[in-house]
Amino acid sequence: MARIFVTHPLPGTAFLRLSEEHQVTVFSADRSPTKAEIIDHLQTAEVLVSLITDEITSEVIDAAPHLRIIANYAVGYNNIHVDWATRHKIPVLHTPHVLTDASADLAFALMLAVARRIVESDQWLRSGAWAGWKPQQMLGTHVTGKTLGIVGMGRIGIALARRARGFEMPILYTNPERLAPGLERELGARHTDLDELLAQSDFVSLHCPLTPHTRHLINAQRLQQMKQGAILINTARGPIIDEVALVAALQTGPLQGAGLDVFEQEPDVHPDLLASARVVVTPHTGSATTETRAEMTALLVDGIHAILQGRIPHNVVNPEVLRTQQEPDQDD
């Protein structure tokens, strides 16, 4: 039985399983713990289950004498100082695969919502302003057949490309590594550099992790490289876009619109983005389906059990810290 500190209750039955089998302390459903409160709980806890809103810094890790596992309820782990955890031989779990489809679905939904002015149309109709059908009413932009640029062709980027295939969209992509030629052919995707991708794409969707290299990757200069009338989608991490520069590119060109699920200073959103009818915003809901959130919980709970039993689950970010003593899970 391990002492587990969870910063927020998690959905799904696997969470009950965790509480039945371990000594679990849940911080609160109403607010996130402060750094001091996390450190306080980590005086005794052996396992930390964190959200992306919890900053697990080197200071927090240094102040946790018994910590054996960090389990982050997200696929992204930019909120955790993973190198520091590795130095302390602490494995970091995350939730890949199970949220791929939900996240790609949301990115595609935002593409359609911005291009076809779904939210604006809904609000206008509800306001009572609609006096009947007119040829020029609520004209949007065609989606089928347009070029989609995908920045970061990992699991979610590939899943988005599969959806775009159904819309006959040629795909350009950037990624540190090229996909296998067979997969490129299947997706109708061409590897290129960011300059060409921005210049050629009608839609640009971001799917790279947030790292020092990708912070403000989409800055004022890069926004100016985009095609006139292009639509930018971000379901990855807010700071990949310079939000002030984005506001300018929406006001003076070349951007026609943006679909944003993530923001630079969450939960705050730049007021000009909130005021713009050409921007569709969602509150960081990429993985927010009942099914996916339950699967994310199960993945972390299974991962915690595997490590506690001396196995190496597939969803460890830094498996090298376990490799010396343990063998990989056979069923992964």
Distance between CA atoms of residues 6 and 12, nearest Å = 14
Contact 298, 12 (CB under 8 A): yes
In the structure encoding, which two tokens stand for residue 311, read together? 């196995």
**With 0-12 CB in 10 A as exposed, 13-18 as middle and 19+ as buried, what is 224?**
middle
- Near ligand GLV by CB under 6 A: residue from 37, 57, 63, 76: 76
Binding mask 247-286 for ligand GLV (x = CB under 6 A): ---------------------------------------x
Contact 237, 122 (CB under 8 A): no
Segment contacting ligand GLV (CB under 6 A): 68-76, 84-92, 134-142, 145-153? 68-76
Establish if 104 lies at the interface with ligand GLV (CB under 6 A). no
Segment contacting ligand GLV (CB under 6 A): 5-13, 38-46, 71-79, 134-142? 71-79
Name the nearest CA neighbour of 104 among 27, 176, 156, 171.
156
Distance of CA 127 to the CA centre of its chain: 33
Establish if 231 lies at the interface with ligand GLV (CB under 6 A). no
The minimum distance between CB 141 and ligand GLV, in angstroms, equals: 27
User: Is 215 annotated in the active site?
Assistant: no
Contact 243, 271 (CB under 8 A): no
Establish if 110 lies at the interface with ligand GLV (CB under 6 A). no
Establish if 99 lies at the interface with ligand GLV (CB under 6 A). yes
Distance between CA atoms of residues 205 and 259, nearest Å = 9
Task: Select 107 or 198, whichever has its Cβ closest to ligand GLV.
Answer: 107
> Which spans of this chain sit near ligand GLV (rule: CB under 6 A)?
52, 74-76, 99, 286-287
| Catalytic residue positions, numbered | 237, 266, 284
